[in-house]
Structures are given as C-alpha cells and as structure tokens.
C-alpha cells in the first residue's frame, strides 16, 4: 500500500490536464460512464466528509446545544480552551503519552515479531494467527476482559508481574500508572502491524541478503543496511496510520475508566465527547472547536511526517 | 567434523530453541486474556476473584450463560446487530465495487485529483465529522433508527474503494476488450465479467465490513437510545454497567464470550482474507 500511495501522488505530476471540450465524442461518452459509476461516492464525500468538515468549523464559532439554533459567538470557545480549560491541556498531555507510547510499541514490537517470523520458522501460519487473534476481538469485550487483567487485587497482570518480584500495582487507582495500563493493553493490536511488516519482509528478494553475506555483512549489518532501508516505505505508512489512530483513542478509555482517576486517563476525544454528549446542556460548539484543534494537530503531524519522508523513505527501482 | 563446524551447529540449535521459546512466550501473552475470559465464564463467582489466579473452573457452571441472558436481552441485541451488519455489508460491497470500477476503468477529467481526495478522506479524524453528522440526523429524525449505521455504507467507504480499485487495475484489459467486441454493454461487463473476477477483493471487503459493524461502539452509543434497538456492543456495555453488576465477573465473562465467539468463528473460517485485509500491500498496483 505504501508504494501504491506513492504512485498515486506521482501520477499527478507532469501530466497535462484534460479538458472536457477537447475530448472526442467517444471519450466524452467514456467520461460520462466513469462519472456515473463514481457518483455514489461523490454524493457520499459531499454528505459525509465535506459537509461535516465545513459545518464543524462554522459550529466551532457558535454556541450550540442541538435544541436551539446555533448562536454566533466568534472565537470565544477557542479563547476559553486555551486560557480557561485545564482539562484541555491535561487531556492533550494524556493523549500525547498514549500516542508516543502506543505508536512506539506497535512499530518496535510489530517489527520485532515480524523479524522473528521471517526466519524460516515452522508453523508460520499458526504463530501469525495467534498473534493476530486479539486484534479481531470486539473492543467492548476486550475492554471488559482487560478490566480484570488489570484488576489490582486479583488481575492476571499483577499475578504475572509477581513472578518477577514486582509488588501489586493499583493500575486504575494510581494516576501515575493508569495511562501506562492502557499502553500495556495496546500491545493487543500489535498483530495488525506485524502482519503488514511481515508481508513487506517477505517481499525482499533473497539475493540481496546473499549479496550482503558474500560481502561479509553480519546479521546486524544486514538488518541495518538491507532490511530496514528496504522496509522504510512500510514503516512510513505504519507510523502514519498508527499516529492518526492513536490521537483518536476513545472506546476502551470510555468503557474502562471514563477518564478516572482524577482525569489521569482523560484523553482528548473523551474530553470532546463529554462536552458534546455527556454534559447538559450539550456543548456542541465547544466540542467542535476541540475537534478542529485536534484536526490541526493531526494535520501538522501528518504534514511533518510526509514532508520529511523523502529523506528517510526509499522506494525500490522506478516503482514509485 | 572440525570444532568450528560443531560450534556453529550448537549455536544454531540453541538459537532455534531460543526462537521457539520466545514465540511460545509471546503467544501466551496474546492468548492468556482470551483464555481466561473463556474459562472464568464457567467458574463459580467466588473463584473468579481469587489470587493467585486460577485457570480451571472448580465446578463447571454453564448456568452463568443463562443467568447473564436474564439480565441482558441477547436475542434482541443479536438480531439488531445482524440487521445492521447485513445491510451495511450489502451497501459496502455494492457501492465500493461500482465506484472502484469507475476509478479503475474509465478516463475522465480530474479523475486522479478525485482519487487523491478519496485517499485524503482516510486521514480525516472522525471527531471532526461527529457533531455535524449527529445534528443532521437529529434534524431529519434519524436518531433511534438504524439508518445512521446503514445508509452511509451505500455511498462508498474510501478504504474499501481503494482495495477494490487496486484489484480491478490488475485485471488484464484484453478480457474487457474481448467482451466489448462481443457487444457487451458497460453494465454487463461490470456485472458479468468484473464482479466474478473480483471475488477475492469482495471477500476482503465483506470481512472488513462485517468486523466494522459487529464491533462498532461509538455509532450505536450515540444514535440508539431505545433499549429495543441496542446492538450487541451496547448491550454488553450496558450489562456490565448495570447497578449491582459490577462484581458479577463470571456472568460478564459469559456475556463477553457470547459476543466474541461469532467473530472468532468467522476469523478462523476466513483467516487468509483477514490477513489480506490488514495487509493491503499484497494488492498494490
């Protein structure tokens, strides 16, 4: 997919734009058929992407509680968010912890597991299935199970840590550990990242390693000079997908802690959700302003990663 | 055999042993929570909270399941979930194959720009869309109906369209030209040549769509307030947060197992497609 994305972007360059009136009658017919086929999506993108995108921007400058029509109040919400909402900063910080921790866990562990499975290991399919199974479990059920895994008194994790002499940790009662608990839980989804990395690793031609071996490269050198450079497109894509996803972490936190203890697990989207759907009266305008700030943050991260990607992402041959 | 050769062989064997040991340890990490969920769903209540953790029920108590069903209307929530899942599945497959075919097989002005917009929508956070879409559904009276969970599927999902288009691009043009020479219309070529060929991609989309609807939590949470319309995800959540349910771990695990089992069965039947769905790089074009 990484290369597919790349080629989408490059296909735009250096191509003369076609204009409708220059088309021959046959090409006009073809164009009409094409537009007809994609018309469901055009309607969909207008209704479910463009409309809410613009509307939430406009709503962010209004006081809006769903029942009464929105009331224009200018930038008041933004001013309040940045000057008078301690939970905004707190939730942003918590989300930052989750994003950096969970993305690192998924990329590093996902890559390590894929490397392990790429060593001509036996029963490859079995291991891959085992590592992937937790990722398909519905998140509500997973959250309920993990509430007991992380139970302070009788939980599986404290039991397991006990073997290493670590005293029981009060995961969700201790503000210092509550966010770490969610990071531990995020290992559940490492399988998805691993599967993508594994497919990438399997696509590296054996000759590259043979050539490196003849040149006398040891295991670490082959990893660092052959495997990782060739995997950069896949790493790039995974970092991007996981960062965008991690910024929006919501469901497991809503179910398991609701932001407790003392807002130590209040994440950004939870904060936004509470303003829109928990508080009375609903503060849809305020929530929209929070949503737009989140959008700008995610956009900035994406832009930085995309802009720096040329320096560290290598595409093989002319494929992209 | 020289000493060096022996040394190499010994390290190789040791390496293999270490490798399999690591794989087993990691497997236990992934499987233990699910295994414990299953086992504790049969345990007597007093056994669930004991420390050190016990894995085998002292007494097998299948009545945990029937007891859980008394509080939780499994039948209704199951039916509602099936309804949403099936309609979304039909909508997703229909709309995404049609749109993907349009992007893959026709030339029209701004096609590549439109496709870039499609990819860009993948990166739009759901939080930005949440409120206006909710307000719009409220305005047209769709709150407490299944429409908000089903109708969007009929207008295409960017990710599924992307998967399907990559697949269509890989089908040789000669096949279509042959059909055209035989006088087949565009619609016939699509339904009778392309769709049968695209079966692998359609199965991947079907599985992603099923997983999406079955597991969805936020959508049903905000759109469905009437308990008779609740889906499994919401039913399970409400069940565990009922007053007095906080401590009935064994029944909660029984309820969770009931929700997880259908997904696991589908997963084991279509493993290959699940993996492909996670791994679209296999379909690059």
3-state secondary structure B237-282: HHHHCCCCCCCCHHHHHHHHHHHHHHHHHHHHHCHHHHHHHHCHHH
Q: What is the mean pLDDT of residues B106-128?
A: 91
pLDDT at B130: 92
pLDDT at B22 over 80: yes
Whether residue A128 is found in the same domain as residue A271? yes
Residue A71 has φ and ψ, to the nearest 5°, of: -120, 125
Give the residue with greater pLDDT, B268 vs B283: B268
Give the residue with greater pLDDT, B142 vs B281: B142
pLDDT at B179: 82
Percent of chain B with pLDDT over 70: 95
Best of A18, A112, A113, A145 to substitute, by most chain B Cβ atoms within 10 angstroms, is A145
Residue A153: burial class (beta carbons within 10 Å; 0-12, 13-18, 19+): exposed
Q: pLDDT confidence of B282, banded at 50, 70, 90?
A: very low
Residues in chain A closer than 8 A to B186 (CB atoms):
33
Whether residue A48 is found in the same domain as residue A92? no
Whether residue A103 is found in the same domain as residue A35? no
B261 and A CB contact within 8 Å: no
Whether residue A223 is found in the same domain as residue A265? yes
CATH architecture label of B69-283? Orthogonal Bundle (1.10)
Residues A196, B279: C-beta atoms closer than 8 Å: yes
Whether residue A51 is found in the same domain as residue A124? no
Q: Tens digit of pLDDT for each residue in B190-244?
A: 888 888 888 888 998 999 899 999 999 999 999 999 999 999 999 999 888 766 6
Residue B5: burial class (beta carbons within 10 Å; 0-12, 13-18, 19+): exposed
pLDDT block averages, 10 residues each, chain A of length 320: 47 58 85 93 95 95 91 94 94 96 96 92 90 93 93 91 92 92 95 90 87 87 90 89 93 92 94 92 94 95 90 66
Q: Answer whether residue A320 is part of any domain.
A: no
Whether residue A32 is found in the same domain as residue A97? no
Structural domains counted in chain A: 2
**Rounded distance, CA A265 to CA A172, Å?**
9
CATH code of the domain in which A227 resides: 1.10.3720.10
Whether residue A52 is found in the same domain as residue A148? no
Q: Before A281, cis peptide (omega within 30)?
A: yes
Whether residue A109 is found in the same domain as residue A22? no
pLDDT at A4: 47
Whether residue A106 is found in the same domain as residue A255? yes
DSSP annotation of A31: H
Whether residue A55 is found in the same domain as residue A83? no
Q: How far is CA A214 from CA A211, A218, A263, B9, in A?
A: 5, 10, 57, 20
Look up the domain containing A23 and give its range: 13-59
pLDDT at B281: 42
Residues in chain A closer than 8 A to B138 (CB atoms):
66
pLDDT at A16: 56
Window 42-101 of B, Cβ < 8 Å to A: 48-53, 95, 98-99, 101
pLDDT at B285 over 60: no
pLDDT at A1: 42
Residues B156, A247: C-beta atoms closer than 8 Å: no
Residue B190: burial class (beta carbons within 10 Å; 0-12, 13-18, 19+): buried
Residues A34, B108: C-beta atoms closer than 8 Å: yes
pLDDT at B1: 56
Whether residue A47 is found in the same domain as residue A108? no
Angle between helices B271-278 and B199-215 (to 10 degrees): 80
How is chain B split into domains, by residue range? 3-65, 69-283
Among the partner residues A2, A113, A138, nearest to B263 by beta-carbon distance: A138
Whether residue A43 is found in the same domain as residue A88? no
């Amino acid at each position: 997919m990484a290369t597919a994305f790349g080629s989408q972007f490059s296909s735009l360059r250096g191509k003369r734009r076609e204009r409708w009136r220059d088309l021959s009658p046959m090409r006009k017919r073809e164009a009409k058929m094409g537009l007809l086929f994609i018309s469901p999506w055009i309607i969909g993108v207008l209704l479910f992407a463009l409309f809410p995108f613009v509307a939430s921007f406009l709503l962010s400058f209004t006081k809006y509680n769903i029942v009464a029509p929105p009331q224009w109040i200018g930038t008041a919400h933004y001013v309040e968010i940045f000057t008078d909402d301690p939970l905004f900063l707190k939730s942003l910080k918590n989300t930052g912890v989750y994003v950096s921790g969970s993305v690192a866990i998924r990329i590093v562990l996902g890559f390590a597991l894929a490397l392990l499975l790429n060593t001509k290991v036996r029963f490859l399919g079995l291991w891959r299935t085992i590592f992937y199974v937790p990722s398909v479990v519905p998140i509500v059920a997973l959250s309920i199970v993990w509430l007991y895994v992380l139970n302070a008194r009788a939980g599986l994790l404290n039991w397991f840590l006990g073997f290493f002499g670590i005293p029981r940790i009060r995961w969700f009662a201790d503000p210092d550990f509550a966010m770490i608990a969610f990071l531990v839980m995020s290992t559940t989804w490492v399988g998805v990242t691993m599967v993508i990395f594994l497919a990438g690793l399997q696509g590296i031609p054996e000759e590259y390693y043979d050539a490196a071996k003849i040149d006398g490269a040891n295991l670490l050198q082959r990893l660092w000079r052959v495997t990782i450079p060739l995997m950069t497109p896949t790493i790039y894509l995974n970092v991007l997908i996981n960062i965008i996803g991690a910024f929006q972490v919501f469901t497991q936190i809503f179910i398991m802690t609701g932001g407790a203890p003392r807002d130590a697990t209040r994440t950004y989207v939870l904060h936004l959700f509470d303003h829109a759907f928990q508080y009375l009266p609903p503060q849809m305008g305020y929530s929209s302003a929070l949503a737009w700030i989140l959008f700008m943050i995610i956009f900035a991260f994406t832009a930085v990663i995309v802009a720096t990607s040329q320096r560290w992402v290598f595409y093989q041959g002319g494929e992209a | 055999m020289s000493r060096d050769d022996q040394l190499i062989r010994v390290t190789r064997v040791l390496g293999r042993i270490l490798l399999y040991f690591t794989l087993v340890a990691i497997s236990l990490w992934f499987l233990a929570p699910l295994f414990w969920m299953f086992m504790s769903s049969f345990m007597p209540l007093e056994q669930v909270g004991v420390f050190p953790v016990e894995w085998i029920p002292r007494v097998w108590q299948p009545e945990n399941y029937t007891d859980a069903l008394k509080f939780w209307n499994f039948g209704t929530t199951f039916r509602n979930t099936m309804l949403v899942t099936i309609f979304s599945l039909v909508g997703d497959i229909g709309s995404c194959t049609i749109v993907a075919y349009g992007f893959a097989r026709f030339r029209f002005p701004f096609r590549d720009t439109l496709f870039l917009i499609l990819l860009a929508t993948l990166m739009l956070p759901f939080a930005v869309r949440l409120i206006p879409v909710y307000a719009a559904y409220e305005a047209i009276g769709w709150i407490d109906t299944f429409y908000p969970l089903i109708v969007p599927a009929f207008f295409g999902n960017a990710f599924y369209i992307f998967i399907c288009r990559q697949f269509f691009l890989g089908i040789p043009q000669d096949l279509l030209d042959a059909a055209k020479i035989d006088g087949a219309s565009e619609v016939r070529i699509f339904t009778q040549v392309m769709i049968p060929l695209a079966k692998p991609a359609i199965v991947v989309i079907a599985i992603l769509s099923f997983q999406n609807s079955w597991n969805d939590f936020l959508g049903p949470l905000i759109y469905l307030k009437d308990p008779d319309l609740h889906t499994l995800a919401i039913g399970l959540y409400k069940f565990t947060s009922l007053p007095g349910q906080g401590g009935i771990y064994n029944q909660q695990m029984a309820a969770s197992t009931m929700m997880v089992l259908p997904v696991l069965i589908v997963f084991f039947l279509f493993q290959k497609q699940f993996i492909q769905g996670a791994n679209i790089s296999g379909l690059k074009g």
